[in-house]
């Protein structure tokens, strides 16, 4: 029950973060979506051995977390939750790629370890950027921005319903788990009980979703969600878009980490 309740609180927290009043929150969602998409494209476009070139890209999430007033610990914890799954993807790289590419004194580092680390870093950067985008924009505003950028309205509405259904599912799951524990007197959750619990959970969430839909229709819902605030793509959005775009493209073609390393090596020598 504690895990379900914690997941529900995390969803609610991520949703509440979008109600902030910082300079980043007040930007048009289209600018933030475009910048995040460009950021993800440039990060994943690097080669599997370009590990050092990825580190300057931590500037973007660090600045967005700071300016947007987001809890850094919360974002980091959510990103680290996927670390074991990412490691399962890249853990076999050192087995198949044993060519030594870097030497740190007597220790040789193969290309497999570098490519594995590159996968982990790129996943952290892209997933962190997506979480930050939701935290400073809100998922409904993101869907609205995608619709205004050309996404079909039907798909945008379906994404919004899916997002809201997650809240219904987690809330009903927490209630069902709490009720089971109160009636189980400390007994464990067997497979038969688990299957029954999942079945009742799906039925309860389906019925509640139907009631929510009927309530929306009673209030005049015609397939369009209205935003909490009106946005306008102006000079601030252009500055935000072109500023970050110029930085991402520059970092893509110039390895800042290597340039700083060469400069420091020259100074020391």
Three state DSSP letters for 54-102? HHHHHHHHHHHHHHHCCCHHHHHHHHHCCHHHHHHHHCCHHHHCCCEEE
Domain boundaries, the chain: 1-12+139-227, 19-137+229-258
pLDDT in tens, 112-167: 788 888 888 898 999 999 999 988 988 888 888 888 888 888 888 888 878 877 77
pLDDT at residue 239, rounded to an integer: 93
pLDDT in tens, 183-224: 666 565 566 666 777 777 777 777 777 887 788 788 777 666
pLDDT tier for residue 1 given thresholds of 50, 70 and 90: very low
Structure tokens of 205?
Answer: 């969430």
Check: CB of residue 202 under 8 Å from CB of residue 172.
no
Residue 141's nearest CA partner among 67, 228, 71 is 228
């Amino acid at each position: 029950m504690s895990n379900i309740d914690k997941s529900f609180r995390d969803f609610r927290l991520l949703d509440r973060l979008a109600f902030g009043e910082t300079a980043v929150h007040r930007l048009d969602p289209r600018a933030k979506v475009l910048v995040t998409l460009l950021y993800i494209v440039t990060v994943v476009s690097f080669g599997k051995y370009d590990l050092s070139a990825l580190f300057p890209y931590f500037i973007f999430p660090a600045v967005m977390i700071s300016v947007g007033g987001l809890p850094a610990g919360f974002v980091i914890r959510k990103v680290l939750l996927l670390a074991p799954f990412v490691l399962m993807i890249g853990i076999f790289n050192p087995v198949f790629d044993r060519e030594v590419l870097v030497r740190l004194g007597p220790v040789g580092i193969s290309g497999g370890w570098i490519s594995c680390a590159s996968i982990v870093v790129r996943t952290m950067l892209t997933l962190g950027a997506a979480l930050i985008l939701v935290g400073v924009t809100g998922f409904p505003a993101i869907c609205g921005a995608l619709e205004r950028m050309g996404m079909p309205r039907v798909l945008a509405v379906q994404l919004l319903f899916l997002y809201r259904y997650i809240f219904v599912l987690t809330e009903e799951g927490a209630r069902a788990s709490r009720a089971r524990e109160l009636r189980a007197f400390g007994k464990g959750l067997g497979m038969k009980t688990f299957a029954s619990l999942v079945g009742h959970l799906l039925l309860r969430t389906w019925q509640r979703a139907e009631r929510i839909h009927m309530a929306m229709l009673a209030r005049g819902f015609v397939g369009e969600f209205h935003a909490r605030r009106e946005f306008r793509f102006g000079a601030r959005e252009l500055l935000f878009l072109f500023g970050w775009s110029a930085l991402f493209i520059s970092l893509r073609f110039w390895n800042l980490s290597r340039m700083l390393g060469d400069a420091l090596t020259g100074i020391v020598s």
